Structure 1
């Protein structure tokens, strides 16, 4: 059982790396504390320049085949609500109205490398909404 688990971890590590050996991950730039009714701007980008962000979605259907890619249309099956992608960066802007800890989660990102290599990555971020002035 332990050897099988190690093999699975090695396989996972192999498939999550690009050909250059660099792990493909998403980086999130967003303030961790924001003021209520203040505009929040978040940017999400890839740490690997070999991969391009094609599309990004939120609030996708939950099903076992949720990461199935439609290569013809370059979409993720079961995902409809699209986020804004510009210059290989996901740009999210919103105004929180509720105080306390919050999460913008379940973001699915369609990545493409060269002609026909695709991957789906998931991301999200947490932030705290406070009343009054925020010192950053």
Structure 2
């Protein structure tokens, strides 16, 4: 009898596990993935948002170039594209899974080897905030998600 109960318990556990893994919440529209998975895993579990890291100088002189490198703190996600000035009024944003373009986003940033590269020459002194960046990621199961990121930088006047 104990063996029978053990077998029933194991079978029930396996069937529940398979049922959860068979759920697929990723949706497509006209061959593009809807960007509805930003906070969910493919099976409905909570998606753990990765830390975003930035490498740059602490400060820069007015007119000098500031080079900023942005990357993810997790190696199970690929950083595939990044954009500025995305239209927040797009009702159902999608991503083209072959070109990595997001609907409503037009100004792309340079992405190389899972790193966003930004170079610019600040023109006024003080603490400045960079425009919001929309980061497109892809996980190992080919699910695309977006993250929002911005950062501050300090610009010092020439003496």
Q: What TM-score, normalized by structure 2, do the two folds share?
A: 0.65
- What is the deviation of 1:26? 1.5
1:120 to 1:52, Cα distance in 2 relative to 1, 3 A? same
Distance 2:123 2:152 in 1: 15
Task: Find the counterpart in structure 1 of residue 79 from structure 2.
Answer: 53
For the pair 1:104 / 2:130, whether they are aligned, the reply is: yes
Equivalent residue, structure 2, for 1:4: none
Q: Report matched runs for 1:55-134 at 5 Å.
A: 55-63=81-89, 65=91, 67-132=93-158
Tell me whether 51-60 or 64-73 shows the greater mean CA deviation.
Answer: 64-73
Alignment check: 8 A CA contact 2:62 2:155 kept: yes
Q: Which has the higher contact order (CA 8 A, sep 6+)?
A: 1
**How far apart are residue 71 of structure 1 and its match?**
2.9
Distance (Å, rounded) in 1 between the aligned partners of 2:91 and 2:115: 26
Range with greater deviation from structure 2 (88-97 or 71-80)? 71-80
Contact conserved, 1:34 with 1:128, CA < 8 A, in 2?
A: yes
Structure showing greater Rg: 2
Map of 1:16 onto structure 2: 47
> How many residue pairs were aligned?
117
Which runs of 5 or more structure 2 residues have no equivalent in the other structure?
Answer: 1-38
1:45–1:88: 8 Å Cα contact kept in structure 2?
A: yes
The structure richer in strand per residue is 1
- Contact 2:83-2:105 at 8 Å conserved across structures: yes
Give the C-alpha shift of residue 111 in structure 1: 0.2
Q: Deviation digits for residues 72-128 of structure 1, max 9, x if unmatched? A: 432211001000001110000000111222111210011011252111011111012
